[in-house]
Amino acid sequence: MKKNERANLSASYNDLIASITNPRITIIGTYRVESVVGEGSFGKVYLAVHLLTNTKVVLKSSSRREAVILAREIHHHRRLLHPNITRLYEVICAEDRIYLAMEYCPNGELYEFVSRQEALTEKKACKLFWQLCCAIKYLHTQGCVHRDLKLENIFLDKNFDIKIGDFGFSRDTDCSRRTFMSTRCGTVAYCAPEIVLGQKYIGECADIWSLGIIMYAMLVGRLPFDEDDTSLTEHKIINEQPFIPETISPNATDLLIRLLRKDYRFRPSIDQIISHPFFRDNRYHFSSIKDVTISTKADDKVRRRLELVGVDIGQLNLSISEKRCDLLYGWWLLLLEKETKKENKKIHLFYLQHSKGKSSSFHIPPSSPSLETAEVSVTSNNSKFNNSSRSYPGQSTGNLLSTFKSWLLDSKSKHTSRTASPSFDTVSTSSKCSKNSKILRKKNSFDSTSSKNGSDYKRPFNSVSSTEAIVVPRKSPIVQQSCPSTDPHYRRSKPKEEEKQSLSVSPTSEKNTSENFQSPASVSEGSLISTSLPNISNRLSNCRGCNLSQLSSVNSSKSSLTRSYSNLSSTSSASLVSIVSSRPSTGSGTRPTSYHHPIDRLHKSFQFSGGDSNNTRVNATAIFTIGAARRIAPTSSSLMYNNQNFVQEEDEPEESFTSDSSRHFSDIF
């Protein structure tokens, strides 16, 4: 061997050794890690690229110690397929870490977006809030409540459309009747009064309250109840009405007041919110809400392609129908997204071509999804994909990955060259929001000195306070304005003469008198809800060409290619063990410096007797509560806080997890 050949050989050996001993992770499963985009409560959040589809995703890493808590998040998140909810593609279990591969939202948190602009214009806020409400409507219809809705858990995708994330506090509810819950969870500034008071609460109503806080923050640029002292914040949540500046339009004011009603029984349902004039006047209509469906054409295409590259179709079908979030499921879902985007583009182009020259009041709903997906089952297709494999044209020798890519992504797909990755050890996001952070503060940290001893401000909701019930109608008959004269936080507007006359202090006056706006049915414990969900397909047919799925009907073949899978969903709500785990949302790598509470600090703040830093406790009723030190070891009745997120152990059983679905996540446990 020549001298230089030997040198080359030894150099390549050295490279190999360096690469396999490099402590920095570069490949996780089928993902190439690019950079760190944030830091969650349990670990770093990486930007990564799915190598088989060349799609950007985020990989949220957690220690295996958090497996039980993660199981809840995964259990809820994997069954949610909505254009305004981040998608969970895959769960990767490595030796000591678990990674969740999720939809990447390059425009970051809504918190940053709002902070940067101080307050959003009403048009912008309406668009975002509409999308948020559509997602919550879907969530609630799926029998799930979020329980930690806040600006920091809402992300913006590349089109600045809303994507709800972080389902760590979610739980199942029975959407046919109101389920009372008692786990105190969430983030104080976004918490409904009934939760702050330690009462049993209805998850949906608590979510609606949080929607009110988010809407307020978007329009006003700060949180309505937000003090340095948590107990003061709580006091205000329970007793004070939000100050609503005069710049806010009457419709927006009216909706805000309804959402932030102290008594949950008088808060509107999500359907009532969506029908509110605030949206209607901005041209968002209930009727434009699409039934979340998956394109059969795209699905069939993707499955066929996967079959052609040698994927065991039986295994694939199983992964999809059980939403296993394994490699095959993630691959399928990512490809499906691409395929559906392509299909939607075609439909859009088709529409544009055919509507040329026609006057158009056409309004594409802002929640136009990047993918119209829904509950998916494969059962109907099994036989089809069990056919003997076909030969695939254009097979080429060479690198497996590139072959897969060319097969799967069409030759058009471009492989973007990448710039050097920043270090994984530093969070690359800037603290650009800190200049406004005095106005709108990130709510993931908590001053643990706060306590619940302020019983003096507790008051039962059956006695509606005068501040709560005073309603000042404004110009529009629709508008009601709470305006106790004594409260400096109240909106300072001079009531007109006739408005003064109609000042009312009766709690029933809180029920609206709005035109075209239904009064919420009062709900008593255990009563049935009559949420008569509207017949969406009827509505769609009445809606004039205003959404993409409808546009598809213009295309003669499209209507037959769209189906709803929701009834076929086989996602089991069953899982492993009865879990009581409410994860306080604490860490975030992107929070402004002044409000950054590093995970380390939180770990130090909560050391529990017994010295178990993982704070693992299994009680006699086989209820597991596992968490890192930042999680609170709950006593059955005590309330403990953790950086403004708080958790209280539930009295009532949470979702019960059976061994059936445990096999999907058996690796975790």
Ligand X SMILES: Nc1ncnc2c1ncn2[C@@H]1O[C@H](COP(=O)(O)OP(=O)(O)OP(=O)(O)O)[C@@H](O)[C@H]1O
Annotated binding site for ATP: 60
Rounded Cα distance between 343 and 171, Å, is 34
Question: What are phi and psi for residue 132, nearest 5 degrees?
Answer: -60, -45
Binding mask 443-482 for ligand X (x = CB under 6 A): -x--------------------------------------
Helix H or strand E segment including 270: helix 270-274
* Residue of 25, 28, 37, 101 interacting with ligand X (CB under 6 A): 37
Q: By CB under 6 A, is residue 210 in contact with ligand X? A: no
User: DSSP secondary structure string, 280-296?
Assistant: HTTT--GGGPPP--EEH
Q: By CB under 6 A, is residue 115 in contact with ligand X? A: no
Q: By CB under 6 A, is residue 155 in contact with ligand X? A: yes
Nearest residue to 253 (alpha-carbon basis) of 569, 475, 509, 516: 475
* Residue of 28, 32, 34, 40 interacting with ligand X (CB under 6 A): 40
Q: Which is nearer to ligand X, 479 or 628 (CB)?
A: 628
Q: Which is nearer to ligand X, 153 or 170 (CB)?
A: 153
Is position 148 annotated as part of the catalytic site? Answer: yes
β partners of residue 39 = 44
User: Closest distance between ligand X and the C-beta of residue 165, in Å?
Assistant: 5
Helices (H), 535-577: 536-542, 548-554
* Residue of 109, 326, 337, 343 interacting with ligand X (CB under 6 A): 109
Q: By CB under 6 A, is residue 378 in contact with ligand X? A: no
User: Closest distance between ligand X and the C-beta of residue 12, in Å?
Assistant: 37
Query: Burial, 244: exposed, middle or buried (Cβ in 10 Å; 0-12, 13-18, 19+)?
Result: buried
- Pick the stretch among 38-46, 194-202, 337-345, 492-500 that binds ligand X (CB under 6 A): 38-46
Rounded Cα distance between 524 and 178, Å, is 9
Rg (CA), the chain: 26
Query: Among residue numbers 46 through 75, which ones bind ligand X (CB under 6 A)?
Result: 58
Rounded Cα distance between 550 and 555, Å, is 9
Q: Which is nearer to ligand X, 82 or 405 (CB)?
A: 82
* Burial 457-487, CB ≥16 within 10 A → b, else e: eeeebeebbebbbbbbbbeeebbbbbbbeeb
Q: Which is nearer to ligand X, 152 or 326 (CB)?
A: 152
Q: Which is nearer to ligand X, 209 or 446 (CB)?
A: 446
DSSP state of 109: B
Rounded Cα distance between 35 and 454, Å, is 45
User: Closest distance between ligand X and the C-beta of residue 563, in Å?
Assistant: 28
Show binding-site residues.
60
Rounded Cα distance between 174 and 529, Å, is 10
Nearest residue to 84 (alpha-carbon basis) of 151, 144, 131, 150: 131
Rounded Cα distance between 424 and 562, Å, is 42
* Residue of 31, 42, 89, 646 interacting with ligand X (CB under 6 A): 42
Rounded Cα distance between 587 and 597, Å, is 7
* Residue of 250, 365, 520, 587 interacting with ligand X (CB under 6 A): 587
Contact in structure between 250 and 491 (CB atoms under 8 Å): no
User: Closest distance between ligand X and the C-beta of residue 216, in Å?
Assistant: 20
Q: By CB under 6 A, is residue 370 in contact with ligand X? A: no
Q: Which is nearer to ligand X, 106 or 545 (CB)?
A: 106
* Burial 622-643, CB ≥16 within 10 A → b, else e: ebbbbbbbbbbbbeeeebbbbb
- Pick the stretch among 5-13, 31-39, 249-257, 271-279 that binds ligand X (CB under 6 A): 31-39
Q: By CB under 6 A, is residue 334 in contact with ligand X? A: no
DSSP state of 471: B
* Residue of 102, 294, 374, 464 interacting with ligand X (CB under 6 A): 102
Q: By CB under 6 A, is residue 585 in contact with ligand X? A: yes
Contact in structure between 28 and 48 (CB atoms under 8 Å): yes
State the pairing for strand pair 97-103/88-93.
antiparallel
User: Closest distance between ligand X and the C-beta of residue 60, in Å?
Assistant: 6
Q: Which is nearer to ligand X, 165 or 242 (CB)?
A: 165
User: Closest distance between ligand X and the C-beta of residue 378, in Å?
Assistant: 26
Binding mask 78-97 for ligand X (x = CB under 6 A): --------x-----------
* Residue of 249, 445, 467, 590 interacting with ligand X (CB under 6 A): 590
Reading the block at residue 203, the tokens are: 């998850």
Rounded Cα distance between 249 and 589, Å, is 35
Helix H or strand E segment including 208: helix 203-220
User: Closest distance between ligand X and the C-beta of residue 28, in Å?
Assistant: 16
Q: Which is nearer to ligand X, 112 or 650 (CB)?
A: 112
Q: By CB under 6 A, is residue 104 in contact with ligand X? A: yes
Query: Burial, 255: exposed, middle or buried (Cβ in 10 Å; 0-12, 13-18, 19+)?
Result: buried
- Pick the stretch among 34-42, 350-358, 385-393, 456-464 that binds ligand X (CB under 6 A): 34-42
User: Closest distance between ligand X and the C-beta of residue 338, in Å?
Assistant: 18
Query: Count residues contacting ligand X (CB under 6 A)?
Result: 29
Contact in structure between 79 and 139 (CB atoms under 8 Å): no
* Residue of 115, 317, 344, 586 interacting with ligand X (CB under 6 A): 586
Active-site hit among 15, 96, 148, 226: 148
The angle formed by the CA atoms of residues 138, 139 and 142, to the nearest 5 degrees, is: 85
Query: Among residue numbers 162 through 201, which ones bind ligand X (CB under 6 A)?
Result: 165-166, 168
- Pick the stretch among 101-109, 198-206, 483-491, 540-548 that binds ligand X (CB under 6 A): 101-109
Helix H or strand E segment including 145: strand 144-145
Q: Which is nearer to ligand X, 162 or 257 (CB)?
A: 162
User: Closest distance between ligand X and the C-beta of residue 398, in Å?
Assistant: 33
Contact in structure between 444 and 645 (CB atoms under 8 Å): yes
| Residues forming the site for ligand X (CB under 6 A) | 37-42, 45, 58, 86, 102-105, 108-109, 152-153, 155, 165-166, 168, 429, 444, 585-590
By annotation, the residues acting in catalysis are 148
